Amino acid sequence: MSGLRISIIPVGGEAVRLRPLTVETSKALVRILNRPILEFIILELAMNGIEEVYLGVRGYYNYRAVHDYFREGYWLRTKYPFIDHDVRIRYMPRYETSGNAEAVKITVEYYNIKEPFIVVQCDNIFKLDLKKVFEFHRNVGADMTIVLKEVEDVTGFGVAEIDSEYRIKRFVEKPRPEEAPSNLVNTGIYLIEPTVIEFFKTSQGQELLKTGKTDFGQHVIPKLIELGYKVYGYVLNEGYWFDVGTPERYLEAMKFLLNLRDYRVLEAEEKLPGVYMQGKSPKSREFHEDIVMKARKAMLKFSNVVLIGRHTTIGENTFIENTSIDNYCIIGSNTYISSSAIMDRSYIGDEVKIINSIIGRHVYVGRKTTIINSYIGDNVYIGENSKLVNVKVWPHERIPPYAHIENYEIKPHYISIT
C-alpha cells in the first residue's frame, strides 16, 4: 500500500487536441490497446493501493458514457485478479465548473474528503510508485507535490523550475521552448493536502473562482507558489509517463506499451513470438489458431510486437508490425500495416497500406487504399484506391473511391458533443 487511499480524476473538456478521436467520444473512453484510456489509469492506481476513485465528470455525454462503462468499479477486481482489494468508483454530481481544479474542489467538499489524495488528469498513461511519491511529499511537508518528468521538447506542457530541495520556485504554463525555465514538465499528477482546498476559501482563491480561473496549470499552481504554499516537484526517474492528448502522442504511447510486453498492460497471451492475442473463448481460440497456422506456413508475417483483439481475422500474405488491432476486425489479404492502431469492428480491405495512423471504430477501408500519417474518426467510409497522407477525417464522413487527399482535415459543419 502507498499510504494513499483516494484519487480524483477530472474528466471534462472537449479534448480538442485529440480530435477526430474525441469528436463524439469522451477522452476518457478513447481506446488504446483495446481498452479505454481511463481503464489504464484506474488499473495503475489500484495496483498502487488506491481504494476510492472519484471522477470529476463534466457534461452529459462525458458522464453518461463513462458511468455506463465503469459503473461502481467493483468489476475491476474480477477482470484483474492481481488486484487484492475492491476499488470503489464515485462520480461528481452535476455542478458547472470552469476548470479541473474547481472540479476537484467540488468533489472534495461534496464527499467531505479530509485526507491527502492523488489527482490524475485523464489523458495520462503512466507507471510510478505512489509510495515513494507519498514519502517524499510527507518528508518535505508539502501542501502539493507535482510529479515532474524530464523531456527533450517542452512544447505544450507546463514547465517547473525547482531549487536544490525540489521546491518549485516558478511554474510556467505552456511557454515557448526557448523561454522555458527548465525541461521538467508537469505530468498532470498531483498529490494534494486539504490545505490546497482550503486555499479556495481565501480572498485570492475566491477571486480565482469568481473569474473562472480554476485550471491547475494555468491559474492555481502559479498562484499557490506566489502565495508561499509549499509546492514541490517529484522528478519521475523510474516507471514511465505519457500524455496521450494528441494523436501523435497516442501512437508513441501505444508503441512503447506494446514493446513493454507486460501481460497486465496487454491483457493477452503470446501465441507467436511478439504476437499477443486476446480472448479465451472457444471461438477466440479458433481465430487464434487460424492466424498461428498462417504465420507458421509463411502465409502471414509479423514483426516487432503486435496485439490482436478478440474475434479478429487476418487474410493471407499480410504483414503487420508494431500495431494494435482491436476486437471484431477484418484485415484483408496482401495488406501492410505498420506502427498503427486499428480500433474495433473496422474492415480493412485487400492490398491496403496503413502506416503510422489511427483508424477509428467501425471504419471501412476499401481495397488498394493507402493511409499514411493520418487519423480517421469513427464510422468513416473510405472508398477503394484512395490515398490519404497527413489527413484527419471526422466521424461519419465518406471518402469516394480514387480520392487523393494530403495535408487536410475533413470535417462536417457541426459542433462536437463531448
Summarize pLDDT for 5-63 with one digit per residue, the tens: 999 998 876 668 878 888 888 888 899 999 999 999 999 999 999 999 999 887 777 78
Q: Is 250 found in the same domain as 347?
A: no
Domain with 332, as residue range(s), is 270-410
Q: Is 295 found in the same domain as 180?
A: no
DSSP character for 321?
E
Look at residue 303 in the predicted model and tell me its pLDDT: 93
- Mean pLDDT throughout 137-141? 95
- Choose one of 225, 259, 293: the last residue of a domain: 259
- Extract the C-alpha cell encoding 320: 503487420
Task: Express each pLDDT in 170-227 by its tens digit.
Answer: 998 888 888 888 989 999 999 999 999 999 999 998 999 999 888 888 899 999 999 9
Look at residue 195 in the predicted model and tell me its pLDDT: 92
What's the structural domain count of the chain? 2
Q: Model confidence at 415, in pLDDT bands (50, 70, 90)?
A: very low
- Share above pLDDT 90 across residues of the chain, in percent, rounded to a whole number: 67
Alpha-carbon span 358 to 304, nearest angstrom: 18
Q: Is 242 found in the same domain as 275?
A: no
Integer distance in angstroms from the first to the last C-alpha of the chain?
35
- Choose one of 234, 259, 284: the last residue of a domain: 259
Q: Is 311 found in the same domain as 252?
A: no
Look at residue 263 in the predicted model and tell me its pLDDT: 78
Please report how the helices 37-47 and 60-70 are oriented relative to each other, as an axis angle in degrees rounded to 10: 50
Decide if 251 contacts 21 (C-beta within 8 A): no
Look at residue 63 in the predicted model and tell me its pLDDT: 83
- Mean pLDDT throughout 278-286? 89
DSSP character for 361?
T
Tell the residue number behind the cell numbers 500519417, with chain if given.
373
pTM value? 0.89
Alpha-carbon span 143 to 199, nearest angstrom: 10
Look at residue 230 in the predicted model and tell me its pLDDT: 94
Look at residue 14 in the predicted model and tell me its pLDDT: 67
Q: Is 292 found in the same domain as 158?
A: no
Evaluate whether residue 127 is within a structural domain. Answer: yes
Task: Express each pLDDT in 80-136 by its tens digit.
Answer: 888 889 999 999 888 888 788 889 999 999 999 999 999 999 888 999 999 999 999
| pLDDT exceeds 90 at position 342 | yes
| pLDDT exceeds 50 at position 1 | no
Evaluate whether residue 147 is within a structural domain. Answer: yes
Better-scored residue on pLDDT, 15 or 286: 286
Decide if 388 contacts 374 (C-beta within 8 A): yes
Alpha-carbon span 63 to 261, nearest angstrom: 32
Evaluate whether residue 295 is within a structural domain. Answer: yes
| pLDDT exceeds 90 at position 245 | no
| pLDDT exceeds 70 at position 325 | yes
Evaluate whether residue 1 is within a structural domain. Answer: no
- Taking alpha carbons only, the member of 185, 187, 204 closest to residue 196 is 204
- Choose one of 199, 228, 259: the last residue of a domain: 259
Alpha-carbon span 300 to 102, nearest angstrom: 52
- Share above pLDDT 70 across residues of the chain, in percent, rounded to a whole number: 97
Better-scored residue on pLDDT, 400 or 264: 400
